[in-house]
Structure 1
């Protein structure tokens, strides 16, 4: 009986102490006195970040929800990732990683970008280098589109050509807009198939254009979706034969 009574008393005391400690921790005795922001901060400054995030933080130093605090920081434009931790005795430290855009995403009317991980994010395009290419396709395939761009772009460089836009249709067909204004229909298939068709085009288009007294810059468009060949459209070149009766 004595042992049971002692155990009950000990449990009661533990609950009482725990409840008391929790009550004390929830009181406004431990307010957060400051927020330290560090990390890769280029498009934001610490003052603006604190002003945007502080109103969303609830609780004191011990009771604040760090997961919600992290989400608050990551909701700020240009912030990709935030690591938030307590810093004794009364501060929070947020270490931020900002988005690094590698391409515009979608229609020109939007303000979306793609980072190096193939993630789409909102951004102020006025702060972005105009030389970045534009990629387009279903949002959930942004990584695939970025991967295809990284595969194809180096193929054009030896020919003094550059991809300005690369798109993937909802039906899985690829198309490219070059810096010369030429539009290339690359068709569907695995990346190796698309790459092979592109390489074949680049190896031969200069010679084909030369047969008509033109350079690659005269190419307006090409359709690479044909087996063992492609259709070519060039400025000033037509296959239509004039009707002598109309002369």
Structure 2
């Protein structure tokens, strides 16, 4: 076969491949007909997913951008992650993972939460039984620090028959706790270990201090642990007290 014939064959093959490719790209049989959703979809339904995702899709089975499709799913409220697959000849399959909220986040009324992975996300809090969740507050980029502090402090408060209703990392880097009974504790600055050690000293003397005034720790209205050698204490029905955290009362 001479060079001219070989060139003609090559041109023919290229035209054939191009024609087949054009046919595949244009044929309606490969237009996306449906999307199958699998995984955790307890807080979303077909209507909300279709309304949020479908307008952002373009292309057919061969040309659709799976990364953009994944991003479209992950932009839907409550969706934490998505993996998108092609199912020949004209379907997509999306496997979704939803956020599992562990606390409300930020100011009252904000539609923000933080999930079990310490990631802040926005969704309709009315979808939740908010009475069962604590409220955490701090800079969004410090959410992991706030969540870890909360997890470290919960056992200390539970040992005193107290629950944490709110935990805040203030703009100045100070920690503040409000218990489920409404007591406000100013914890000051420090690492998880430092704050925990400070609370252990406080709780080790609290029962004895409250007993002096015929009260129990449940009468706690507030405490300021930012003092170097002790703490200021407020009990319901009792004036402000000063206690030395290093001495037995």
Partners of 1:25 and 1:63 within 8 A in 2:
no
| C-alpha RMSD over aligned residues | 2.2
Partners of 1:28 and 1:60 within 8 A in 2:
no
Mapping 1:35-50, distance limit 5 Å: 35-50=35-50
Show the counterpart of 2:93.
93
The answer on 1:78 being equivalent to 2:78 is yes
The answer on 1:203 being equivalent to 2:217 is no
Show the counterpart of 1:158.
159
Deviates more, 1:7-16 or 1:174-183: 7-16
Mapping 1:26-175, distance limit 5 Å: 26-29=25-28, 30-129=30-129, 130-175=131-176
Show the counterpart of 1:244.
none
Deviates more, 1:199-208 or 1:14-23: 14-23
Partners of 1:73 and 1:79 within 8 A in 2:
yes
Distance in 2, matches of 1:14 and 1:198, equals 79
Distance in 2, matches of 1:48 and 1:94, equals 14
Show the counterpart of 1:24.
23
Distance in 1, matches of 2:142 and 2:134, equals 17
Deviates more, 1:12-21 or 1:66-75: 12-21
Partners of 1:38 and 1:96 within 8 A in 2:
yes
Q: Which runs of 5+ in 2 are unaligned?
A: 242-249
Distance in 1, matches of 2:12 and 2:148, equals 62
1:56 Cα offset (Å): 1.5
Partners of 1:183 and 1:221 within 8 A in 2:
yes
SS of residue paired to 1:43: coil
Aligned length: 239
| TM-score w.r.t. length of structure 1 | 0.88
Deviations 1:212-247 (A, max 9, x none): 22221222111111223211122222269xxxxxxx
Partners of 1:182 and 1:221 within 8 A in 2:
yes
Distance in 1, matches of 2:118 and 2:14, equals 51
| TM-score w.r.t. length of structure 2 | 0.88
Distance in 2, matches of 1:6 and 1:173, equals 82
